[in-house]
Amino acid sequence: MTEVKYLLVFCIFLNFIVNALIVGMPILIIQKLSLMSKHLGMAESMLGIALILSGLVFSIVPIRKNLKLSFLLAFIMQALVFILLIITQIVSISILVIYSFVLIGQFILGFSVTLGNIPYQIMLQHLVDEAYKSRVFSVNQSVVSSLVPLSYTLFGFLLPAFFTETLIVCSIVMLLMIIVFYMKMKPIQTEFEM
């Protein structure tokens, strides 16, 4: 049951942190880059397109082996999106290049959401005892759903004032969580080999 606990805690914290990207994208596009709402719409569309395409890809080529590795890869991809956005704020480059990075980041983010959710659901299905499945899934969904408004509120205050600093802290916390998860899950041998 320890593995289930780490899996749930890991996902709850990382879902909370990833909401900084959701809140930060409009701030970056509208306020930082001074682009128009159509550019924001295009960036948001990239997220949706990536979710649909990745769903199609993973329905054709299902993830069956190395579930933990696929799961970690999804969160590493999300950490890379943080780093990509940090680079756009630190390095002096044209707005067109920054906007291209944003579109690429949104596509990676959408792809990584599907890549992370599929192994997560499969691992929970296999790890949780049948008698506790409904409780675990409902508690998981309730906690994740209840933390979304809290994360939106927190990042809604932090990002306009400290955009780059907030992204840096989130990416560091995310990378540390990935390392901790890898270290905690590695010794536990299951059918979901690394």
Per-residue pLDDT of the chain (194 residues; tens, 9 = 90+): 577 888 888 888 888 999 999 999 999 999 998 999 999 999 999 999 999 999 999 889 888 777 888 888 999 999 999 999 999 999 888 999 999 999 999 999 999 999 998 888 888 888 888 888 888 889 888 998 999 999 999 999 999 999 999 999 999 999 999 898 888 776 654 555 54
Q: What is the CATH number of domain 2-185?
A: 1.20.1250.20
At 194 the pLDDT is 45
User: Residue 192's pLDDT is what?
Assistant: 53
Residues 6+ apart with CB under 8 A from 154: none
Residue type, 150: L
For the chain, where are the alpha helices, taking DSSP H only?
2-26, 37-60, 67-90, 95-127, 133-161, 163-185
Q: What was the pLDDT predicted at 188? A: 54
pLDDT for 5 equals: 82
**The two structure tokens encoding residue 169:** 């802290």
Residue 187 confidence (pLDDT):
60
Q: Are 108 and 81 in contact (CB under 8 A)?
A: yes
Query: Alpha-carbon distance 49 to 108, whole Å?
Result: 11
Q: Coil, strand, or helix at residue 184?
A: helix
Residues ≥6 apart with Cβ < 8 Å to 189:
none
